[in-house]
Amino acid sequence: MDALFRYPVKSCRGESLTEALVEPWGLAGDRRWQVVDADGDCLTARELPRMLLITPELLPHGIRFSASGADDLVVERPTGPAIEVRVHKDELTAIPADPAAHSWFSAVLGVDARLVYQADPTGRHPNPEYTHPDDVVNLADAFPLLAATTASLDALNDLIAAGPLAGEGPLPIRRFRPNIVISGSQAWAEDGWRQIRIGDAVFRAVKGCDRCVLTTTDPDTAARGQEPIATLARHRRWDAKTWFGMNLVPDNPGVRIRVGDEVQILDAVAAPDGPPR
């Protein structure tokens, strides 16, 4: 395994790790916080690119935030009553943070915003079409973890370089916000993965990842372009969606994974000429 990332707050800046505990709903500390509007709907960097410039740092009993033009903010992990919130179409409960956090995010983002914490990650389930009834997920868009490969990134960057928007490349893997980055495979081989092992951790590869406008946003500047969606739309467009990466569900949570761990493909089929499912 080449790299390991977690994203403490949905749509905010991620952090590079050397090791992490795999929990049933994702990596420990990954996407248990999110920002919502007054109605409880999640706010993301799709609509608010500046979210990518907010840096969270997990603390033993809470989280610290920093952003350009704002004082740092420390937020204690909330323990009050939960409210109903949404991650896209999924309804769940989360606990609002202190009002000072709401004010800080509202000022930084320029919209009415509230910070909430997913105290109970067992209450949200991923799409049952691809998972087991007892599978659970944190505040990620759809599944507990996302894997990407360096071979597929290299292939995509070659396609970008040969296309009309070559000046927007090459793109770093951070554009795709993976948890796990794997080298040594053939480009797009992950489309056919069904089960993999990383160190002692086993994962089901349940569905390819359809990509959105968030990938067109530079994680260091929040500037938005057209790539990689423009190139993916020419070369990896199925079901009116563009595809990059593979979603994973843990089969034996409680195991730690580390950068440098061996990756084994335990079960795979030929990469399909269509949506990676």
pLDDT tens column, 242-274 = 999 999 999 999 999 999 999 999 999 998 888
Q: Give the pLDDT mean for 105-124.
A: 97
94 occurs within a structural domain: yes
Cα(90)–Cα(97) distance, rounded to whole angstroms? 20
The structural domain count of the chain equals 1
State residue 254's pLDDT score. Answer: 98
Mean pLDDT on 152-156 = 98
What is the domain range of residue 53?
A: 31-117
Residue 151 lies in a domain: no
CA distance 44 to 40: 12
Does 224 have pLDDT greater than 90?
yes
83 is a domain residue: yes
Residue 240 burial class via C-beta count within 10 angstroms: exposed 0-12, middle 13-18, buried 19 and up: exposed
Tokens 């691809």, located at residue: 130
State the pTM of this model.
Answer: 0.96
The proportion of the chain whose per-residue pLDDT surpasses 70, expressed as a percent, equals 100
Structure tokens at 165: 């928007």
Q: Is residue 213 part of a domain?
A: no
Q: Confirm whether 99 is domain-assigned.
A: yes
d(CA 80, CA 97): 9
pLDDT digits (tens, 9 = 90+) for 35-57: 999 999 999 999 999 999 999 99
CA distance 156 to 134: 35
pLDDT of 275 over the 90 cut: no
Residue 195 Cα distances to 49, 191, 246, 267, angstroms: 34, 11, 11, 5
Q: Is 193 part of any domain?
A: no
**Mean pLDDT of all residues in 190-209:** 98
- Sign of the CA dihedral running 238, 239, 241, 247: negative
Residue 59 placed within a domain: yes
Average pLDDT for 231-237 = 97
Predicted confidence at residue 273, as pLDDT, reads 84
Whether residue 259 is contained in a domain is answered as no
pLDDT, residue 25, reads 98
Residue 224 structure tokens: 């938005």
